[in-house]
Amino acid sequence: MSQHHPSDDIMMEYAAGCASTHLALCVAVHLQYCPRCRANIQRLSALGGEMLQQLPQEDLSEALFERIMLRIDLEESAPAAPQKPVEDLLQRWLPDGLNAVSWRKQWFKVYEYVLEVSRKGRQRLSLQKISAGGRAPLHAHYGQEVTVVLQGGFSDELGVYEEGDFVIRSGDQRHRPRALENEDCICLAYLDAPVCLAGPIGRWIERFRRLFMPDLNAPAS
């Protein structure tokens, strides 16, 4: 079972449905690995259920029930195909699984595969791979980085993370993730602002990048 879980406030925002869709995806992927958090989400949803039940009753318009029945009758006469339960949340992007991903090299042993980028490029959902024993450059973030380990494991200045672990690094935490020796590490990563490289060379690259490639939010390789 994984050892690093979303914080209580993230869990609550998720259960309440006010987490952003990308953060929700990261939490949902963690839940696939973590029965304990699934049980907690269930309780947090029970709390939502109780809050909802305690709301006052609002008057409804006369014909609302009939309108609903009309829609149901229409649907019943032309039933849609039943929705298949999803086995893997990332299936949509990875129909052939993690082994068939066409990685883009970013650094010596560091690879990325972008799933979604927001229009302004500030938010980025991607898969990241560090080959066994490889090390990412020292970096910090302008915003927050959420990582869920899908395969293998990595360590950084603050801890060791294994399959299913949910890790958040905020802008002021510089870190240099390193894959465990025996296996490639693949993570789902959600970044709500670009990466900035740290260290003297990193700072130089960073300044250069911002001058000439303001729209590109991946570190130059």
Q: Between residues 118 and 221, which has the closer beta carbon with respect to another protein? A: 118
How far is 149 from 92, CA to CA, in rounded Å? Answer: 18
- Does the footprint of another protein cover residue 159 (CB under 8 A)? no
Tokens describing residue 97: 């699984």
How far is 48 from 197, CA to CA, in rounded Å? Answer: 41
Lay out the site mask for another protein across 95-134 (x = CB under 8 A, - = otherwise). Answer: ---------------------x-x----x-x---------
CA angle 156, 157, 161 (to 5 degrees): 35
Amino acid (one-letter) located at 123: Q
The binder of 49, among Zn ion, another protein, none, by C-beta within 5 to 8 A per type, is: another protein
Tell the smallest beta-carbon distance from residue 164 to another protein (Å).
14
Q: Between residues 136 and 191, which has the closer beta carbon with respect to another protein? A: 191
Q: Which residues of 9-44 are buried (b: 16+ CB within 10 A; e: fewer)?
A: ebbbbbbeeebeebbebbbebbbbbbeebeebbeeb
- Does the footprint of Zn ion cover residue 146 (CB under 5 A)? no
The binder of 34, among another protein, Zn ion, none, by C-beta within 5 to 8 A per type, is: Zn ion
How far is 179 from 109, CA to CA, in rounded Å? Answer: 10
Would you tell me which residues interact with another protein (CB under 8 A)? 3, 5, 8-9, 11-14, 16-22, 24-25, 28, 35-36, 38-40, 42-61, 64-65, 67-69, 71-72, 75, 83, 86, 89, 92-93, 116, 118, 123, 125
